[in-house]
Amino acid sequence: MKNHLVDTLVAAALGAAAMYYFDPETGRRRRAVLRDQAAGRAREARQYVRRQARWTGDRLQGMAAQVRHAASAGVPASDRKVHERVRTAIGRAISTPGAIDVNVSAGNVLLTGHVLAADREKLVQAVSSVDGVERVSDQLAEYGAAGNVPELQGAQDAGSKPASASKTMSQSAPEGLSEPMSDTGAEPAPTPTTGS
C-alpha cells in the first residue's frame, strides 16, 4: 500500500513536469530557460574547479620552494662555487691574480703560485673571509719584488730581482687536495746545501 502510494506520487510528479516542459505553447520557452540555467551552473562549476586548481598549484609551488630553501640552508657551498668566490676575492685583493693557483676540496683552499711579500697577508685574509672557506693553506712562493718573475710582471711593486722564494708545508694535506697544505704563516725555506 505504502509503495503503491509512493509510485503514484512519483508518476504524478513526472507527469506534471512533462506537462510543464512539453506544453505545446509555453514548453519550448520553459525548456530553453532550464537549458540556460543548467549551462550557467555548469560554467560556474568549471570556473570554480579552475580557481581551486590554480590555488592548489600555487600552494604546492610555495611549499616546494620552502622545502628547497630549507634543504639548502646550512648545506656547504659546492667546491666549484667556493672556487669561483675565491678567484673573485683574489682579483679584488691583489694586482696579479693570474699568478695564484687555487685548489678547493671540502672547503679547504690550497693556494700555490707566486706572490709579492707585500700582498701575501692581504691575499690570505681575503681568501679566509670568503663564504664557504673552512681553511686556507698557503704554499705560495714569495718575492720581495716582481723582478724577472713573468707571473708578477705588472705588479704595483715592480722591482729588479726577487728577494726570496719561500714555501711552507704542513705534515699532511686534507683529503682530496693534490698537494700538502700549509698553515697561513710562511717562513723562508732553508737553502739546500750540496756536499763536495
CA–CA separation, 181 vs 54, rounded Å?
55
CA 127 to chain centre: 21
Q: Which residue type does 18 have?
A: A
Q: What is the pLDDT along the chain (196 residues), one digit of tens a residue?
A: 667 777 777 777 777 776 666 767 776 777 777 788 888 888 899 998 988 898 888 888 888 888 877 766 665 668 899 999 999 999 999 988 888 999 999 889 999 999 988 999 999 999 999 988 999 999 999 888 887 778 887 665 434 344 444 433 333 344 445 444 444 444 444 444 444 3
Residue with grid cell 667546491, as numbered in its chain: 79
What one-character-per-residue DSSP string does 46-60 give?
A: HHHHHHHHHHHHHHH
Please give the backbone phi and psi of residue 104, each rounded to the nearest 5 degrees, phi first: -120, 135
- Give this prediction's pTM: 0.44
